[in-house]
Amino acid sequence: MSELADLSAIDLVEAYRSKKLSPVEVTDAVIARIDASEPKLNALWAYDPTEARKAAGASEERWAKGEPLGAIDGVPVTIKENIATKGTAVPLGCAAVSLTPAAADAPPAARTREAGGILLAKTTMPDYGMLSSGLSSFHKLARNPWDLSANPGGSSAGAGAAAAAGYGPLHIGTDIGGSVRLPAGWCGIVGLKPSAGRVPINPPFIGRVAGPMTRTVADTALYMSVLSKPDARDTMALPYADIPWLDLDRGVKGLKIGLWLDAGFGQAVTEETERAVKKAARLFADAGAIIEPVGPFLTREMIDGLDRFWRARGWEDVSRLSPEKQAQILPYIFDWIKTAENFSGREVYTGFAQIEAMRNALHTALSGYDFILSPTAPTASYPAEWASPVNDPQKPFEHIAFTVAVNMGGQPAVSINCGYTEGGLPIGLQIIGQQFDDIGVLRLARAFETMRPQQRPWPKVAA
Amino acid sequence: MTDTMRYTVESGDLENIVSRLLDIVRRLGVSVSKLAVEVDGGKASLEIAVAPSSQSIANTLRERIGQIEGAKPA
């Protein structure tokens, strides 16, 4: 039997139901794993083992009475620190942010607690969530469990590292340009960017979503059954839909799938990433799917425009801070957004307009296909100390070409591991679905999970 | 359509640059009708005539060639 800390949420719930395991022993095992690994990994913030044990005890009593609170009662969970939990500050990865305890749980945290999830800790992120890196002015440097000199990616950096290291089975991140899928790809886990509005969040914003980060597709689906429940605080949420999240096993025969290997801008895809993604596509073809190449459809103008809009948005917040506070922000982030100081209204508006251009380009590319496959990122992970794979604040988004358009388009997309580099780092395959077809991308990911070669053992990080 | 692209490259490793150029063209599935290279000391002038299937392929080709170290549009 696997170590308790490595068991999936699906297996844990079944073991609680059949009284083979108790939430207390599982929580203790996960706490022991964290205590052994965290000094090197730095994935967590506001880690509270005492509260977690207390919550596990309460869950144990509920299971003993046969009255679990919900679908994940007694399952250890971490939550990205920018998702508010009542009584805990929300530093947003930035030393300049005041540490004021949150007044209430944000929707994903509220759903997690209502369903009985055991909150172990919050997970780390870079300043304002605007880096695909574990680098932060507030948190210690988060590292990748597959190779401690490598970056876990981000901005859901701690969540990616925690999932790969076995800090329990369920983790949640947020994603506005790839922040769930990129660390999922670089840490070898499953990360779902749901359709825009599928998982209620607060505050909502264009392109921003929250999604599960887990080791298996079924655990992501299970967590979606909890997180997708309605919350009136999200003014951009979709109407609630009763989706059969755990009905995952479907064939792929006859599906028409596009294979997208050059986004059109940004870093070129490395040969080993391209090889791994093509190999994944061949597995789908062998199972009866129709695979067709999709040419590049994004442009330099699109990402440069979105970059201008994001810089302007960041500067609007940061320009209000005192010079002392500004000096506390990660220099890379400050240097990036300060360039917006003298942007004209036209520069910002034409930047904003690229969101629509990107959305239209992806909708057009997807028409005629059930799904599109692509690399999650053009390259595998990069040095832990870097802010991005290019590490240049004036070229901040060269690595998000395959992921960002999906945020602007609103479609669901999942990252799942499809291979390893020569050095043993994971390579992510992105599956993009039609708008609102969240269950479709999970079914295709589940099909891939059953077809792909056996995965390497999960990394063990010992202090 | 035929699109002619001209670049100057300052590099001592011309062989690697031509190899990368051909790799880019192959990956994008573009047919090449002309490839000319003129070497002058440590500097080379490249001219490549291609038939991209769409404007977005042509844009991507420019993006990718521009990423070759030392390559600048002539």
Write down the pLDDT at residue B6.
Answer: 85
- Render pLDDT for A250-279 as a digit per residue (tens, 0 to 9): 999 999 999 999 999 999 999 999 999 999
Average pLDDT over residues A182-195: 98
Upper half-sphere CA count for residue A448 (Cβ side, 13 Å): 29
State the best of A262, A304, A362, A364 to mutate against chain B, taking most chain B CBs within 10 Å. Answer: A262
For chain B, the residues whose C-beta falls within 8 A of a C-beta of chain A are 24, 27-29, 53-54, 56-57, 59-60, 63-64, 67
Residue A214 binned pLDDT confidence (cut-offs 50, 70, 90) = very high
Cα–Cα–Cα angle for A428, A421, A167, rounded to 5 degrees: 60
pLDDT reading at B11 higher than 80: no
pLDDT at A463: 64
Single-letter residue type at B8? T
Beta bridge partners of A259: A293, A373
Mean pLDDT of A416-436: 98
| Range B13-32 burial, b when 16+ CB lie within 10 A, else e | ebeebbebbeebbebbebee
| pLDDT at residue A28, rounded to an integer | 98
Percent of chain A with pLDDT over 90: 98
- Overall average pLDDT of the A16-34 stretch: 98
Q: Which chain A residues are Cβ-neighbours of B65 within 8 angstroms? A: none
Q: Where are the domains of chain B?
A: 3-73
Closest-CA residue of chain A to B63: A265
Do residue B28 and residue A293 have CB atoms under 8 angstroms apart? no
Q: What is the DSSP letter of B36?
A: E
Neighboring chain B residues of A267 at a CB cutoff of 8 Å: 67
Whether A231 contacts chain B with CB within 8 A: no
Task: Tell me which chain A residues have a C-beta less than 8 angstroms from the C-beta of B63.
Answer: 264-266, 300
Domains (ranges, CATH) in chain A?
Answer: 6-227 (3.90.1300.10), 256-302+343-451 (3.90.1300.10)
- Shortest Cα distance from A403 to chain B (angstroms)? 17
DSSP per position, A222-267: HHHHHHTS--TT-TTPPPP----TT------TT-EEEEE---SSSS
Q: Which residues of A touch B64 (CB under 8 A)?
A: 262, 268
Residues of A in contact with B26 (CB under 8 A): none
Give the C-alpha separation, B73 to B9, whole Å: 9
> Is residue A450 within 8 Å of A416, Cβ to Cβ?
no
Per-residue pLDDT, averaged over B34-58, amounts to: 83
pLDDT in tens, A8-21: 999 999 999 999 99
How near does any CA of chain B get to the CA of A207, in Å?
A: 24
Q: Which of A262, A266, A297 sits opposite B27 (nearest CB)?
A: A262
Taking an 8 Å cut-off on Cβ atoms, the answer to whether A264 and B54 are in contact is no
Residue A110 falls in which region: left (phi positive, over 0), alpha (psi -120 to 50) or beta: alpha
Helix axis angle, A49-64 to A9-17, nearest 10°: 50
**Nearest C-alpha in A relative to B25:** A262
- Given an 8 Å threshold on Cβ–Cβ distance, is A268 in contact with B59? no
Strands B43-51 and A76-80: unpaired
| CA A148 – CA A41 distance, rounded (Å) | 7
For A274, nearest residue in chain B (alpha carbons):
B27
Which residues of chain B lie closer than 8 angstroms to A262, CB-CB? 27-28, 60, 64
pLDDT for A161-173, tens place per residue? 999 999 999 999 9
The pLDDT value recorded for residue B43 is 82
Query: How does residue A154 score in pLDDT terms, banded at 50, 70 and 90?
Result: very high
**In this predicted model, what pLDDT tens digit does every residue of A390-411 receive, in sequence order?**
999 889 999 999 999 999 999 9
Cβ contact A123:A77 at 8 Å: no
Burial class for A328, CB neighbours closer than 10 Å (0-12, 13-18, 19+): middle
Confidence of residue B31 (pLDDT cuts 50, 70, 90): confident
Q: Tokens 């977690």 belong to which residue?
A: A52
In whole angstroms, give the CA distance from residue A351 to residue A359.
13
CATH number of the B3-73 domain = 3.30.70.260
The two three-digit tokens of residue A263, written as one number: 């986004």
Residues of B within 8 A of A268 (CB-CB) are 24, 64, 67
Report the half-sphere exposure of A71 (CA within 13 A, side-chain side): 19
pLDDT exceeds 60 at position A1: no
Closest chain A CA to residue B52: A295
